Amino acid sequence: MSLTVIKPGLLDTIQDTGRFGFSSTGIAPGGAMDLYAARIANMLSGNCSREALLEIHFPGPQIFFEQNALISITGADFTPMLNDEALPLWKPVVVRKNSILHFNGLRNGARCYLAVHGGICIKKWLNSYSTNLKAGAGGLEGRKLEKDDELAFRESSIYFAGLLREGRDYQVLKWRVDADKTYQFPHEIYFTMGHEWKELTENSCHDLLQNNFIIHPFSDRMGYRLKGVPLQRSTDTELVSTGVSFGTMQLLPDGQLIVLMADHQTTGGYPRIGHVVNAHLPKLAQLRPSDTIQFKMVDMHTAEELLFSQQRELAILERACLDHLNELAC
């Protein structure tokens, strides 16, 4: 039971929901950039939501399935194709053995997730499957996927061949997820106030809330550098380093902002202007260089309620996916 990378993509790595508990040694949680899409890919393919899966950037890889498999692709739309036919996103799909998955073109989003029923069999590093490129550990040998990498997945109790119609390379199963709500208004990003927000000049507070910011090409899994009206502090006090987190908006000395993403450093000494709310990190993770952002400040209560409502939706989904899959198991 395995899949093989025939041709690697720009940056394909194994991820999960992150590696917590090691920040005090400088090892950041990492994990999938878009945790919502990653969790759903796992749920749709009948996995626990913390299972190892692939995070794919465009141009994507070519992947050969040696066995019949139940897969699911979520997140960005890179026009996934199985052999010569387009595959749907946000749905469970059974693919026939000896098929090739490739990605034909970038339609929208920045990274997509490929989960395989049974999960990818690799060893955990410090309790997580996530690839930490900087440490050179986690995932597959701490690196991005390369040509001829073979990833095994676990045996399944479902008889997939019985779900495939003769002459067809794949079968879309009947349930799907509507992810529109999480990604609606893709450029509107909510944040809560950071500790140094009050140090911004009145004009700069106004500028941050009223202007668009553009994602700079120097943006990656570590952070998004933004381009916009330079912001000013009313003080020049230097800060000693403190802990930061996924979503922290730091003000660089040149007045530009950087938003820390999944592979951020554990600590930083730049002023913390704000923090993107957790519920909007999936949207942000799907924006690309030259996309614009409009920031909107919300209070803690609103931020937490948004997260809870997203979580309620995920919990319902997880149950529904399991029910559907149980009907298929023999």
Partner 1 sequence: MSIVPDIFPVGDSAATISLGNRIDESLNGKIMAMQQWLSTHPFPGLLDCIPAYSSLTIIYDPIQVRPVAGHSSTIFEWVKQQLANAFGQTNVNRETGSTFHRVPVCYEGTYAPDLPALALEKQLDVSAVIDLHTSRTYRVFMIGFLPGFSYLGTIDERIAVGRKAQPVMVAPGSVGIAGIQTGIYPLASPGGWQIIGRTPLKLFDPYASSPVLFRTGDQVRFYPITPIEFEEY
Pattern of binders to partner 1 over 23-52, x per CB under 8 A? xxxxx-x-----------------------
By CB under 8 A, tell whether 330 contacts partner 1. no
* Contacting residue, 121, 135, 152, 297, with partner 1 by CB under 8 A: 135
Pairing of strands 85-86, 80-82: antiparallel
Identify which of residues 27 and 251 has a Cβ nearer to partner 1 in the complex: 27
* Contacting residue, 239, 320, 322, 329, with partner 1 by CB under 8 A: 239
* Contacting residue, 276, 293, 325, 328, with partner 1 by CB under 8 A: 276
Helices (H), the chain: 35-44, 180-183, 202-210, 281-285, 300-328
Given a contact cutoff of 8 angstroms between Cβ atoms, the answer to whether 298 and 247 are in contact is no
* Contacting residue, 174, 180, 237, 254, with partner 1 by CB under 8 A: 237
> Residue 287: left if φ>0, alpha if ψ -120 to 50, beta else—which one?
beta
Residues in the chain: 330
In the complex, the smallest distance separating the C-beta of residue 38 from partner 1, rounded to whole angstroms, is 16
By CB under 8 A, tell whether 304 contacts partner 1. yes
Identify which of residues 185 and 308 has a Cβ nearer to partner 1 in the complex: 308
By CB under 8 A, tell whether 20 contacts partner 1. yes
By CB under 8 A, tell whether 245 contacts partner 1. yes
Distances (CA, A) of 205 to 2, 30, 252, 277, 298: 53, 30, 15, 18, 14
In the complex, the smallest distance separating the C-beta of residue 46 from partner 1, rounded to whole angstroms, is 22
Distance CA 284, CA 249 (A): 12
Pattern of binders to partner 1 over 154-193, x per CB under 8 A? --------------------------------------x-
DSSP β-bridge partners for residue 62:
7
* Contacting residue, 62, 83, 266, 292, with partner 1 by CB under 8 A: 266
How big is the chain by its Cα radius of gyration, in Å? 21
Backbone angles phi, psi at 282, to 5 degrees: -60, -45
By CB under 8 A, tell whether 234 contacts partner 1. no
Size of the site for partner 1 (CB under 8 A): 46
What token pair was written down for 289? 């260089």
Identify which of residues 6 and 307 has a Cβ nearer to partner 1 in the complex: 307
Q: Is the dihedral of CA 46, 51, 57, 62 positive or negative?
A: negative
* Contacting residue, 127, 203, 242, 326, with partner 1 by CB under 8 A: 242
CA atoms within a 13 Å half-sphere pointing along the CA-CB vector of 114: 29
Q: What are the DSSP calls for 273-293, one per residue? A: EEEE-GGGHHHHHT--TT-EE
Given a contact cutoff of 8 angstroms between Cβ atoms, the answer to whether 125 and 13 are in contact is no
Contacts with partner 1 by CB under 8 A lie at 20-27, 29, 125-126, 132, 134-137, 142, 192, 194-195, 237, 239-248, 265-267, 272, 275-278, 300-301, 303-304, 307-308, 311
